[in-house]
Chain A
């Protein structure tokens, strides 16, 4: 009997190369040109290659800041508010970021102040079939970078570079 198909992951996964600052730039530029813009124009405005831009748009959409329709990027109500916020923009998205992987798992593993490493987060996510890279070392590095670049800015996690451990903020 054939092995049953593993269900496809339904969790939201933050693209491994996208950083909070890039999403902030995208929303600011889209807002400055009217809140609705086609993707090639956005790439031109941001000086970014389409291949670099698409995952940034995915991340912004995952966070509820934009929606894409027929090749156009539209700022949502939340996106417009986000564009106008003057500081701590990512902290305003704390709850949304916490619902996306790998942040969700890191927060679960680090519940009650328990320190957690990127390796533990990667292992737990791999068990659920969620990976950012087929090589374990690269997968762990991408997860670690995501945790540092998003979760600290959002005020979800604290990080100690000496021990390599994250704790709930």
Chain B
């Protein structure tokens, strides 16, 4: 999976969000959404961004993806400024965004349709490999309507992995799933994405679920209400797999809640 991806040393900063602000303009009056947000995501790090509902977390993710242009500040992947959507950044969405008339394999292939450097056979091999990594080997010819929510999200992950991204962005990836499925997928997230089989070098996840972010994140960035600014940032040094019933876990959860309230 990591073919063609430049390897970088441990401790390298992969993503830099540098003093990013965003204003929407409503009837000529600027509506500030993000105010001077800065954060970094290092190699092999899973960074979780949280904040009150509607604060602009998902908007920040879209800015990092190059889908929205900030009013001020910049986003860099290594030394390269993000000026629009690019192949080395992939995103997994909350509501799966799968094409119902295409099979799982065809949905993953769709993500590779702009890769003119690959032959059809290479694209198929990449898509099959991505489905295998996502735990869907054998489900290549199944349609989304025949899959459970968790499996649809795995197709979304496979589609994102197939393009060999350096940066993986996850927008509330578990919130459309039932509790049992979400729990299982959360447990797998880190090892599923950051492992030698994938090209992923860093993951940024947005979630409003505090327990969820303490379960999966290496670093947590807490945003304030709109206009969002960073009100706290800390490393979660709990060993994996994390015990959600442990006192240390609750202490971390409390720490985030105290910043949110």
Seen from chain A, the residues whose Cβ lies within 8 Å of a Cβ on chain B are: 19, 21-22, 24-26, 28-29, 32-33, 46-48, 144-145, 148-149, 152-153, 155, 158-162, 169
Contact = CB atoms under 8 A, between A and B. Distances in A.
Interface in B180-209: 180-181, 183-184, 187
Nearest to A46: B180
Contact of A153 (B138, B143, B146, B180): B138
Nearest to A53: B180
Contacts of B142: 148, 152, 159, 161
A22 B180 CA distance: 6
Contacts, number: 54
A162 B224 CA distance: 49
A47 B211 CA distance: 13
Contact of A25 (B103, B141, B180): B180
A47 B143 contact: no
A92 to B, nearest CB: 15
B180 A152 contact: no
Contacts of B139: 148, 152, 159
A25 B148 contact: no
Nearest to B145: A161
B138 A158 contact: yes
Interface of B: 103, 138-139, 141-143, 146-148, 150-151, 179-181, 183-184, 187, 243, 245
Given A152-B139, A169-B138, A161 B146 contact: yes
Contact of A145 (B146, B179, B243, B245): B146
Nearest to A86: B191
30 contacts: A21-B148, A21-B180, A21-B181, A21-B184, A22-B180, A25-B181, A25-B183, A25-B184, A28-B184, A28-B187, A29-B183, A46-B179, A46-B183, A47-B180, A145-B146, A148-B139, A148-B147, A149-B148, A152-B139, A153-B138, A158-B138, A159-B138, A159-B139, A159-B141, A159-B142, A160-B141, A161-B141, A161-B142, A161-B143, A169-B138
Contacts of B148: 19, 21, 149
A142 B143 CA distance: 16
Contacts of B184: 21, 24-25, 28
A48 B146 contact: no
Given A19-B148, A161-B143, A48 B180 contact: yes
Complex A-B, nearest 9 residue pairs according to Cβ-Cβ distance, in ascending order: A47-B179, A152-B138, A25-B180, A161-B143, A160-B141, A161-B141, A161-B142, A22-B180, A25-B184
B18 to A, nearest CB: 39
A159 B103 CA distance: 11
Nearest to B150: A21
A111 B184 CA distance: 34
A149 B142 CA distance: 11
